[in-house]
Amino acid sequence: MVLPRIAQKLGTLKKAVTRSKIDESLRKNYKMMTDKNITPYRDQRIIALKVIDWCLEEFEICASIKLKLGDYNKFKCWGQCYEGNGDHHYIIEIAKDQTLRDFVATVVHEMIHVKQWVTGEWQGDGEAEAERWQYLLSSKIWNDNIL
């Protein structure tokens, strides 16, 4: 039947348009966000989720991530990651009161820890690898126009 196929295409088109509007909005606000130390909460959540999706694909891992954003004073660190209740379920907490570049690098840093847990591969406490790669991969995200 033609009608369900049209409805399906419209649904796909609506999602693409919505995603395009989000991408356009983020790009318009990029200069404002890099000039200021703090980005709007809604935009930070969108940015973090895009970075998480990119990392899951880039690292070729499957995991369920719960994202919590808060202030540095609440978390007492810029970011942390710990295992959740289920198999391959992780909770990432990110301090939102940091520059955009550092915010993205912190999300990547914590996703590197997720990769380490999922694959079971790391040396020491895993911090050296996460610190070595966080800004390199953040630059790749920018260069790939993910943000």
Kindly state the tokens that stand for 24.
Answer: 């356009």
- State pTM to two decimals: 0.71
End-to-end CA distance of the chain: give it in Å, rounded.
Answer: 39
Give me the phi and psi of 93, to 5 degrees please.
Answer: -115, 130
Domain boundaries, the chain: 1-35, 37-143
Partners of residue 69 on adjacent β-strands: 94
- pLDDT one digit per residue (tens) for the chain, 147 residues: 444 444 454 454 444 444 544 555 555 544 444 444 555 667 899 999 999 999 999 999 999 999 999 999 998 899 999 999 988 899 999 999 999 999 999 999 999 999 999 998 888 888 899 999 999 999 999 898 887
One-letter amino acid for residue 119 of the chain: T
